[in-house]
Amino acid sequence: MKRRGEFDLIAQVFAPLAIGAPGAFALGDDAATVATAPGHELVVTTDAMVRGVHFDQRTAPADVGRKLLRVNLSDLAAKGAEPLAYVLTTAWSPDVTQEWIEGFASGLKEDQAAFGIHLVGGDTVAAPTDLILSVTIFGQVPSGTMIRRAGARAGDDIYVSGTVGDACLGLQVAEGTLALPPEHEKALRERLDCPTPRVELGRALRGVAHAAIDVSDGLLGDLDHVCEQSHLGADVRLGQVPLSVSARLALAKVPGEDKRMLTFGDDYELLFTAAAADRARIDQIAATTGVPVTRIGVMRPGQGVRVLDAAGVELRFETLGYRHF
Amino acid sequence: MKRRGEFDLIAQVFAPLAIGAPGAFALGDDAATVATAPGHELVVTTDAMVRGVHFDQRTAPADVGRKLLRVNLSDLAAKGAEPLAYVLTTAWSPDVTQEWIEGFASGLKEDQAAFGIHLVGGDTVAAPTDLILSVTIFGQVPSGTMIRRAGARAGDDIYVSGTVGDACLGLQVAEGTLALPPEHEKALRERLDCPTPRVELGRALRGVAHAAIDVSDGLLGDLDHVCEQSHLGADVRLGQVPLSVSARLALAKVPGEDKRMLTFGDDYELLFTAAAADRARIDQIAATTGVPVTRIGVMRPGQGVRVLDAAGVELRFETLGYRHF
């Protein structure tokens, strides 16, 4: 392996990411301390990325670092939590170079600054074959205000932030199976490689949203999680699901792709429910945070997700979302 | 793969491990909350295990689960922290069976009960080839009392708990390169497969130990970490390092193996320093917790670890401890 030893790697590449976090002890100890503000509680979530599953050789190492933080930040966003710090576990395969690791760390550094968080600890091990990167991230909410998956009520509006399906199309661009004008290809690729966690929106939704989840495994699959946890069903209007200009262009070339876009995932938008009486408040939050929010359906008694076309006819889906296995 | 899908696996095998932890939300959410007692601060540490590096096909899956928790508990012990909860990230290779996963979970369950902790969250992904298991564990200490690696003072006594080198010999037994009477082979194997985290001892050492670390990468290498962080050197008397009866028996067959036993690691004993004036107090703590503690050397000005024989002559070591790469 043309790379530094374990302790040099920690000292030279990762310890700089802990500067500014007193509880990290410059990564010179076995443990870190993580403090929450008075009256707040700690929110913990963890997400791993595997080469060949969540990214591949095409993905720039800095983008892998940024996406690893962003998928974890997206989970905090869905809870309405303010990000604080994270620990990082890296299992390096023998072929991973020093250059790749430094690129990866540069992506972490960039997004630490963007989202106001620090690395406070971790573990770095050698793996025989695979490259696996795992983050456990810490955030805080005023005690008792964490937004849950459970909590949706019958009659709630269902909203999603931003646009859905861009990452699905971005992968097709990356794989060379979808060709669009360069600016649209770039836009879709960026949505795949560098999603935008809706941290500010999530915080603003505390006390308003009844339930929330981030769209990682597919809009319908993630909505189904909300249904299960809230013991309700959901009706979604396909025509109301927000699509980007690039996605609409792609859809004109590949009709029917919208069904896949609803189940692919990797969108990292917030899917949430709120009382119909709070529509003006939701509009206000969207305006204040600068994040577009679209009403796409309604929670109902029963179970399961139904997708309806413009005529109100239910569409059939073979799968609602991505499963790792 | 002859095993259940991702969501069934979580619901049926892992969710039962979250029963009793209100902040886990039965693993039905994206995040968990972790609470500390008033006046306490949260201590976080993380350790991963890789098949082919930290365990192999010989290791029973329940033992892998127990060891994964125990190596993390050992890090908390070295900080003087009381264990609270943990999150688990699993990357399963295609060959891992449902039976193996259930065995692994049974080991987690057993040690959750033994150490009073719960699973509160995690991530489970598919890996192309490797099997990698990672825990981030949470503990608490009264604010400001966490024992650090930094903090040793010149003139401090150096202590280690239990005995050193058993896991090193246990691996040789497992690999068939060391033969001993069955009861000794069993004892050494158990020390390798199921180490004892010194949680009670660690808690009792708060306010007494100036510095502590758990012996995971080798007694000398870990002592060297304390030296680096405390800006001191250390002298260790080889003849004072505590060995088990089984280890002494092995040493009679393989003279010179004691040098390797000091650098192999996987002991998960506590290595700590304390003022010479506190010797009676340390003896009292050892008696109260029922954990043998042995004085093996002294911290001194300077840097680096020196190992001295009975005549005070320095012994040469090619390496002080295990490095992952």
Partners of residue A120 in chain B, C-beta under 8 Å: 44
Q: Does the pLDDT value for residue A23 go beyond 90? A: yes
Q: Would you give the DSSP letter of residue A151? A: T
Which chain B residues are Cβ-neighbours of A77 within 8 angstroms? none
Q: How far apart are CA A45 and CA A74, in angstroms?
A: 10
The least confident of A291-300, B133-142, B253-262 is B253-262
CATH 3.40.50.300 fits A157-315, yes or no: no
B3 — pLDDT class (breaks 50, 70, 90)? low
Looking at per-residue pLDDT, the higher value among B322 and B251 belongs to: B251
Residue from the list A30, A79, A87 with its beta carbon closest to the beta carbon of B31: A79
Domain boundaries, chain A: 6-142, 157-315
Residues 6+ apart with CB under 8 A from A311: none
Q: Average pLDDT for residues B101-109, to the nearest whole number?
A: 97
pLDDT band at B325 (very low <50, low <70, confident <90, very high): low
What confidence tier does A296 reach under pLDDT thresholds 50, 70, 90?
very high
CATH of domain A6-142: 3.30.1330.10
How high does pLDDT run on average in chain B?
A: 94
* In the block, residue with structure tokens 């069993």: B186
- Hey, are the CB atoms on B127 and A33 less than 8 Å from each other? no
Q: Is the pLDDT assigned to residue B211 strictly greater than 80? A: yes
- Measured N-to-C along each axis, helices B182-193 and B245-253 cross at an angle, to the nearest 10 degrees, of 110
Give the span between the Cα atoms of A103 and A165, in whole angstroms.
Answer: 28
- Give the residue from B272, B278, B162, B192 showing the smallest Cα distance to B225: B272
Predicted pLDDT of residue A3: 66
Contact B50 A136 (CB under 8 A): no
pLDDT confidence band for A257 (50 / 70 / 90): confident
Same fold flag, A6-142 and A157-315: no
pLDDT for B57:
87
B236-262 average pLDDT score: 92
Which of chain B's residues have a Cβ under 8 Å away from the Cβ of A91?
48, 50, 91, 130, 132
CB contact under 8 A, B33 and A146: yes
CB contact under 8 A, A45 and B52: no
Is residue A42 within 8 Å of B33, Cβ to Cβ?
A: yes
Work out the end-to-end distance of chain B between its first and last CA atoms, rounded to an integer number of angstroms.
32
Query: Quick one: pLDDT at residue B1?
Result: 39
Range A172-199 average pLDDT: 96
Task: Determine if the pTM surpasses 0.90.
Answer: yes
Enter the DSSP assignment of B311: T
Measure in Å the smallest separation between the Cα of B38 and chain A Cα atoms. Answer: 10
How many helices (H) does chain A have, and how many strands (E)? 10, 12
| Dihedral sign of CA atoms B69, B71, B77, B79 in order | negative
CA nearest to A38 within chain B: B38
pLDDT band at A319; cut points 50, 70, 90:
confident
Rounded Cα gap, residues B126 and B90, in angstroms: 8
Full 3-state SS string of B190-255: HHHHCCCCCHHHHHHHCCCCCEEEECCCCHHHHHHHHHHHHCCEEEEEHHHCCCCHHHHHHHHHCC
pLDDT in tens, A26-50: 999 989 999 999 999 999 999 999 9
Which among B49, B86, B131, B136 is the top mutation candidate for probing chain A, defined by the most A β-carbons within 10 Å of its own β-carbon? B136
Whether pLDDT at B31 is above 90:
yes
**Region A104-130: what's the mean pLDDT?**
96
Q: Per the CB < 8 Å rule, is A323 touching B7?
A: yes
To which residue do tokens 């889906």 refer? A317
CB neighbourhood size of B306 (10 A): 16
**Residue A209 predicted with pLDDT over 60:** yes
In this prediction, residue B105 carries a pLDDT of 97
Contact residues, chain B, for A52 at CB < 8 Å = 128
Tell me which of A1, A6, A30, A147 to substitute to probe the interface with B (most B C-beta atoms closer than 10 Å): A30
Give the phi and the psi of residue B277 in degrees, each rounded to 5. Answer: -65, -15
Q: What is the pLDDT of residue A309?
A: 92
CA distance B194 to B66: 7
pLDDT band at residue B118 using 50, 70 and 90 as cut-offs: very high
Alpha-carbon torsion (B167, B171, B174, B176), positive or negative = negative
Average of per-residue pLDDT across A105-129: 96
**Rounded Cα gap, residues A120 and A130, in angstroms:** 24
The alpha-carbon gap from B181 to the nearest alpha carbon of chain A, in Å, equals: 34
Mean pLDDT to the nearest integer, A120-126? 94
| Rounded CA separation B307/A30 (Å) | 24
